[in-house]
Amino acid sequence: MTTATQTRRIVRAFHDARTNGDFATAATHLAPAFSFQSPMLGFDDSTDYLASHAQFQQFVTGLDMISDLYGDDEATLVYDLRTATPAGTQRTAEHFKLEDGRIASILLIFDASEWRPLLAAAGVLRGAE
């Protein structure tokens, strides 16, 4: 089991790495069996997730952390993500589940109302014609 103190260290290292664009380091914190779910996207592969996140990160201009809480084998961050998109600032919650000291799943929760038309227009929504 990963203790709350270890969870904090791992999740923060992962979060700092992906925020700084260091996806090689971020990848070392993801478990071999990894899954990601958000309102609009899902991945069962850490490489696909990181590639998607790297694209999105280009539009991120800042992050205001509201809360970070850590438990044994899990953590939840709550933050306002500032983006250079018409959606502006996006309030977001992110839950991490750890297995053997690595992040095995991420659940991302946010109001996708303003993102759906943007992504549909860009033609990048999964399944879009």
- Edge-to-edge strands, sheet with 89-99: 42-43, 30-37, 102-110, 89-99, 74-83, 60-71
For residue 109, state whether it binds its own copies (rule: CB under 8 A). yes
Task: Kindly tell me which residue out of 1, 54, 66, 124 binds its own copies, with binding defined by CB under 8 A.
Answer: 66
CB-count burial class (<10 Å; 0-12, 13-18, 19+) for 63: middle
Q: In the set 21, 71, 86, 88, which binds its own copies (CB under 8 A)? A: 71
Q: Give whichever of 3 and 28 is closer to its own copies, judged by the CB atom.
A: 3
Report the site for its own copies in 37-56 (rule: CB under 8 A): 39
Instruction: Find the binder of its own copies among 67, 123, 126, 127 (CB under 8 A).
Output: 67
